[in-house]
Chains A and B, each alone.
Chain A
């Protein structure tokens, strides 16, 4: 049971928009930046979003991040079949003094 709660799976059609939520608490998301990672099958995760809403160089602007209170959201527009992957949120937890990850969301692009 992860401290950060993500939906296990989401699906949408190519070209559509999807959002993935990450719910936490005051001791983690409420007081720290959130990062998001994309993990394609059989590959290492890749940083998609950092500081809750910033994109590293090379990440298309179809990917966006936001944070409000104790929740964060990853948005993906103009879905492509290649976006089908696992997505994980992560942040620091002040009470645990530890990095924590969400349980992950599997995105299916139908």
Chain B
């Protein structure tokens, strides 16, 4: 049974860096695309980016200048760093698995972690 679990601070100050980690249990970590997707309160879904087992990344153009994703296969974890955050970055952040070459096919989701940007 594949499970994903987000972890990290629930409160980040404006202009600082949001850092989240996703721990994957079950299944292979080597053959899939690992993604972050976020959802501001009361709004729709926004894809942040993906990383594969070679470390190759793909980021949403609107966030690309502020996003870094990394993967540690030995720990079965992947991470998100979003710098220079503002209140517009307040959202539920989901870590999600996708099928390679089928980038919008997200088959396993974490439960999500709410991150609030506030001073």
Q: Which residues of A contact B (CB under 8 A)?
A: 2, 32-35, 37, 44-47, 50-51, 56, 88, 90-92, 96-104
Contacts and interface: CB of A to CB of B under 8 A. Distances in A.
B46 A101 contact: yes
Interface of B: 35, 44-47, 50, 58-61, 94, 102-107, 109-112
Contact of B112 (A34, A44, A56, A104): A44
A37 B107 CA distance: 10
Contacts, number: 62
**Dominant SS at the A interface?**
strand
B104 A35 contact: yes
Contacts of B61: 96-98
A98 B47 contact: yes
Contacts of A99: 35, 47, 50, 60, 103-104
Contacts of A90: 45, 47, 104, 106
Contacts of A33: 102, 104-105
Given A44-B111, A50-B102, A98-B61, 20 more contacts: A35-B105, A37-B45, A46-B109, A90-B106, A92-B103, A97-B58, A97-B61, A98-B47, A98-B58, A98-B59, A98-B60, A99-B35, A99-B47, A99-B50, A99-B60, A100-B47, A101-B45, A101-B47, A102-B44, A104-B45
> Which residue among A37, A46, A47, A103 has the maximum number of chain B CB atoms within 10 Å of its CB?
A47
Given A44-B112, A97-B58, A50 B45 contact: no
20 contacts: A33-B102, A33-B104, A35-B106, A37-B45, A44-B109, A44-B112, A45-B45, A47-B105, A90-B47, A90-B106, A92-B104, A97-B61, A98-B58, A98-B59, A98-B61, A99-B50, A100-B47, A101-B44, A101-B47, A104-B44
B45 A88 contact: yes
B103 A88 contact: no
A38 B94 CA distance: 15
Contacts of A2: 44
Given A44-B111, A46-B109, A103 B44 contact: yes
